[in-house]
Amino acid sequence: MNKIVSSIKEAIKLAGLRDGMTVSFHHHLRNGDFVLNMVMEEIAALGIRDIKVNASSLFDVHTPLIGHIKNGVVTGISTDYMGAGLGREISRGVLAEPVKFYTHGGRPHSIIEGREKIDVAFIAAPTADNMGNCSGKYGRSACGSLGYAFADAMYAKRVVVITDNLVPYPLADFSISEDYVDYVVEVDAIGDPKGIVSGTTKITRDPVGLVMAAHAAKVIEASGLLKDGFSFQTGAGGASLAAAKFLKDIMLEKNIRGSFGLGGITGYMVDMLKAGCFETLLDVQCFDLSAVESIRNDPRHREISAMQYASPGAKSAVVNSLDVVILGATEIDTDFNVNVHTDSNGYIMGGSGGHSDTAAGAKLSMIIAPMFRARLPIVSGRVTCISTPGDSIDVLVTQGGIAVNPKNAELKERLEAAGLPIVDIFELKDKTERITGKPNELTRGERVVAEVIGREGNLLDRIYSVDK
């Protein structure tokens, strides 16, 4: 018995893919991914049409999807995140059916509950054996964790592993095991290593970013959560990483031993592990080479599935035990609702990813963002799109002050007691608008181009076309 088939085309045929079916992809190869495009090209060449694409995230490398949409090959998209290039086309209305935006925890939940059905999952595997045991830790296209691909492998009717590093059976250090895999295809390259992970992720040098980061670290210090057993997640943005750096300094100075770092792991979190700030890293996706090396070599750095990370359908997820998460925003309103889906012109340029999931789970959910970008204020009266509901956000940190959600009165008291520059969010809005002027109202288009699905499966918001 051997699952190796000669080509992606052969695997598509053997898997029985037909018009109207759903294919799925995971995004650990990020903007370096070749697999989605290779597969969609073969599907198109086979004359198969009306395909739904369910991808844990889509990057601008996946822009060929637009051609497949225009040709009727692709008629539906579900994803947790979409790059700005693709997003612009979607916002212009290229796809008749609204995109469904999930969260990183909501996506596996929707798959397990059967609201999203996957006919054929394609797993980009940096290393695999001939029976489909596979891992992201090894090979020239190594990406580290394959956490987002587990639900696809476990629940798709057919599973195709695509690899550029076929190793002798059995691959002992498998992430996804052979019992879920139907076919294995060897290709020359599954991705461009330069696009898969950043060589390094860098902290900000921007003075505004550094002020925000210093505030963020002080908020965490004053919150009462920074003590032995502390757990933490942060994004890969420059200011978030700077906040992690400041936090590390505080933890080392005070000799605080945290329990775990979660995420989306960067080299900065690896440094914190090595420095003794954490006992463990729980990793659903690696952002840089240092994280990939760490998950490969350090047993304290563990891969987790998206279900274990963040699914609201799980008996528990790690986000439920998380103390602090630092998150970004393109827009936040006076009710603390956060938008990470659309830009200031209403174009899609992102998605929730794990934003809503960690915000809902963490004891302290912090948004870190500058008061304005390109003269557009961060705080609005009402966000264009609700990506994460305000009731799961505790605090907004800007260079011009720290706004605490009134629902968390205790936090406000603590931060005031620590002498931090607290500001009412309405005041922050006014203060910013005195600098930037009042922004023009966005005129939304006629058509719904995307639906934002809350992590529990509820319709959270709609995104409208940009018609100009």
Q: Which of 113, 179, 413, 467 binds a copy of itself (CB under 8 A)?
A: 179
Q: Is 205 exposed, middle or buried (0-12, 13-18, 19+ CB in 10 A)?
A: exposed
180 binds a copy of itself (CB under 8 A): yes
* 318 within 8 A of 262, measured Cβ to Cβ: yes
Peptide bond connecting 377 to the previous residue in cis, omega within 30 degrees of 0: no
Least distance from C-beta 170 to a copy of itself, angstroms? 5
**Residue 316 within binding range of a copy of itself, rule CB under 8 A:** yes
Binding mask 202-241 for a copy of itself (x = CB under 8 A): ---------------------------x------------
Q: Which of 332, 330, 335, 334 is closest to 346 using CA atoms?
A: 330
Is the dihedral angle over the CA atoms 384, 387, 391, 393 positive or is it negative?
negative
The SS3 assignment for 462 reads strand
305 binds a copy of itself per the rule CB under 8 A:
yes
Q: How far is the CB of 113 from a copy of itself (least distance, A)?
A: 14
- Segment lying near a copy of itself (by CB under 8 A), choices 43-51, 286-294, 306-314, 395-403: 306-314
User: Is there binding between residue 113 and a copy of itself (CB under 8 A)?
Assistant: no
Least distance to a copy of itself, CB of residue 311, Å: 7
C-alpha closest to that of 326 among 202, 237, 225: 237
Candidates 63, 321, 334, 436: give the one binding a copy of itself (CB under 8 A): 321
Both tokens assigned to 199: 């060589």
* C-alpha angle 383-322-218 in degrees, rounded to nearest 5: 75
Q: From residue 145, give the alpha-carbon distance in Å to each of 7, 49, 220, 420.
A: 25, 32, 28, 38
In the list 8, 43, 131, 134, the residue contacting a copy of itself (rule: CB under 8 A) is 131
- Determine which residue in the list 58, 65, 86, 307 makes contact with a copy of itself, applying CB under 8 A: 307
Contact 91, 347 (CB under 8 A): yes
Q: In terms of CB distance, is 205 or 315 closer to a copy of itself?
A: 315
Could you list the residues that contact a copy of itself (CB under 8 A)?
A: 1, 3, 131-132, 159, 168-170, 172-174, 177-182, 229, 259-260, 279-280, 282, 299-300, 302, 304-305, 307-308, 311, 314-318, 320-321
